Amino acid sequence: MNPPRIRSLKFLLPLCCLLLLLVTSARAEHEGKIQILLLGDSTTEGSIPRRLKPEGPHLESVIEQLLAAEGDLPACHVSNSSLSGEYIKRLFDSGRYDRDAAKLPGVDYIFIRYGLNDRAKRENFTENFPKDFHALLDRLRKDHPQAVLIPMTVIPFANEEVSKEINDLIFGVAKAEGLEVFDIYPRYAAELKQGFNMLNYRRYPVEKVPEKYQALVKPFISGGRVVVMANELDPILGHLPGWYSDRHPNLAGYNVIADETAKYLAPKLRARKPAQESKQ
């Protein structure tokens, strides 16, 4: 007859194994896939392209497809948790971080792209933005200890001087944290040299469109504005003051971001693969 302590251990062992299995299975949203999180503002979310072409594919799906097209990488799932108008302090103050980012299971890589709205809306930007960024990195480390944190530079949304101001602060934060920056700015800027307005959609107040063109733009009106994905109305309305002023990416712009993201991530996934296989 087994002593009581031995019998208790025999009972607890299967229970512990079951609990371990449940915890392990909860780590990833899609079992067996690398989990990638995109965290950022409107230039990551892409709300207008999603409205104009809801079937996509949009940023997160294109990244998945490009990584899969490599043929030798592990399966990946990309989640886009971004919001128009957001800056880091609002991410926390609104509760969105706790709702949408803190408890995501099994995250392996987190791309972080903030700065544009922070500069426009955060008081004492040059001092508070780095503090906010450090605070975000600290929370992400606590909530996702296994994840690789990847700060990103902003795209050429503002002028070169403003972009440099923001990006220099991001590089400074990353250096202090010992993190590598994914610098998306040069690739996006290089693509713009092929056509300065080819990567942004057009969003223009209806009331500023001359009366004789009102019938023409009627099918493109959304939320009180004329919204066009690319250049189809440029030959007719491109002369209007401010027609090209909205610099948010269109689908082509997001495809630049997706392509450069896949190129950045692919070698890291290849380096990770042998380590994973050696554990099996």
Domains and CATH numbers, the chain: 31-196+250-274 (3.40.50.1110), 202-245 (no CATH)
- Tell me what pLDDT residue 272 has: 83
Confidence category of residue 221, pLDDT binned at 50, 70, 90: very high
Q: What is the mean pLDDT of residues 208-227?
A: 97
- Tell me what pLDDT residue 113 has: 98
Q: What is the mean pLDDT of residues 205-232?
A: 97
Evaluate if residue 237 carries a pLDDT over 50. yes
Confidence category of residue 176, pLDDT binned at 50, 70, 90: very high
Evaluate if residue 262 carries a pLDDT over 60. yes
Q: What is the mean pLDDT of residues 80-101?
A: 97
The tens digit of pLDDT for each residue in 107-120 reads: 999 999 999 999 99
Confidence category of residue 5, pLDDT binned at 50, 70, 90: very low
The tens digit of pLDDT for each residue in 10-62 reads: 434 444 433 333 333 333 444 689 999 999 999 999 999 999 999 999 999 99
The tens digit of pLDDT for each residue in 134-171 reads: 999 999 999 999 999 999 999 999 999 999 999 999 99
- Tell me what pLDDT residue 8 has: 42
Mapping DSSP onto H, E and C, the string for 81-128 reads: EECCCCCHHHHHHCCHHHHHHCCCCCCCEEEEECCHHHHHHCCCHHHH
Indicate the range of 36-45, 193-202, 268-277 predicted with least confidence: 268-277
Confidence category of residue 273, pLDDT binned at 50, 70, 90: low
Evaluate if residue 124 carries a pLDDT over 90. yes
- Tell me what pLDDT residue 21 has: 36
- Tell me what pLDDT residue 67 has: 98
